[in-house]
Amino acid sequence: MAKNVLLTGGTGFIGKHLTDVLLDSGFSVSILSRSDRENTPLVTYYKWDLKKNYIDKNAILNADYIIHLAGEGIVEKRWTKNRKKVILESRIQPIELIFSVLKENNKTLDAFVSASAIGIYGAITSHKICDENTPPANDFLGTTCQEWESSVDKINSLGIRTVKVRTGIVFGKNEGFLKKLVPSFKSGFGAVLGTGKQYLPWIHVEDLCQIYLKAILDQEMIGPYNACITDNTTNSRFSKELAKLFGYSIWLPKVPPFLLKIVLGEMSDAVLEGQRVSSEKIQKMGFEFQFTDLEKTLVSCLH
């Protein structure tokens, strides 16, 4: 019988792609969602209601692997005090619920893999290259990712292998980061943000899904792995490439940091700063990125 992979947040951008990859690889797939969804011949849906601390336990009891992707969008709304709480709790509370079901039922898993983010290294622009041993930053994203990853360690305390995928900015066709930017670039109004010197470590969604697949299959993988290309792409280079693909050179002045701070508040840090991140650890595990060239990757996402 096919092994079952349970995805939390499997209805989102990464989860949809990952579902296809897992099915193609011979796994059965289940998804935990906050909304009622009809099962399909290929995917079984289970419900949870985090506000009521409710979870359909069968989701966990039938799973061989869990991949945790659920969480409120990080850059969807201004980071008010309440929004920050929601961003953090929507990632941690699901892990707590899963932990209690596993513990109460003496249930084990072949692996628990969780999303995390390169934001753990902080909103800093420097020439330093962050690897998995770089200490977490003290800013909002740094502390959020740290707490998120610490909750994953609770699952590890049950003797379950755990992997944390510290994800860069994910590129996909009309999805995620590009979905937000493409309309303005397409209309000829693309612009460099701030100094443009901030790094933008990116990954194509197909490569990311292959990392998740490897994380469940490869028993040697334990702990954090950076998942992004280390090609030193900056916001300036990215913006110029994107504009070029729409047939023009950027003519607008750089968007000044103060303006972004007024519009986005503290969240502006996430676009005005960006660090260099090493992917050496995952590559040393034998992983080969298929999308390594920025221009070709953007072309594949736009056509």
Ligand X SMILES: NC(=O)c1ccc[n+]([C@@H]2O[C@H](COP(=O)([O-])OP(=O)(O)OC[C@H]3O[C@@H](n4cnc5c(N)ncnc54)[C@H](OP(=O)(O)O)[C@@H]3O)[C@@H](O)[C@H]2O)c1
Nearest residue to 98 (alpha-carbon basis) of 146, 137, 154, 40 = 154
- 181 CB neighbour count, 10 Å cutoff: 15
Q: Nearest distance from residue 247's CB to ligand X, in Å?
A: 26
* Helix ranges restricted to H, the chain: 13-24, 57-61, 81-104, 140-156, 176-186, 205-217, 235-245, 257-264, 269-272, 280-284, 294-302
Shortest approach of ligand X to residue 249 CB, angstroms?
27
The residue whose Cβ lies closest to ligand X is 12
Q: What is the dihedral sign for C-alpha 267, 147, 167, 64?
A: negative
Residue placing its CB nearer to ligand X in the complex, 171 or 185: 171
Residues that bind ligand X (CB under 6 A): 9, 11-15, 33-35, 50, 69-74, 90, 115, 117, 167, 169-170, 176-177
Q: Which is nearer to ligand X, 1 or 36 (CB)?
A: 36
Edge to edge, the sheet with strand 175-175 lists 175-175, 169-172, 202-204
Q: How far is the CB of 13 from ligand X (least distance, A)?
A: 4
Task: Decide whether 1 or 85 has the Cβ nearer to ligand X.
Answer: 85
Nearer to ligand X, 113 or 115 (CB): 115
Cβ proximity to ligand X: between 50 and 285 the closer is 50
Residue 258 CB, shortest distance to ligand X, in Å, is 26
Residue 205, φ and ψ in degrees, nearest 5: -60, -30
Closest distance of CB 46 from ligand X, Å: 11
State both tokens at 69: 């992707």
- Six-digit token string for 80: 């008010």
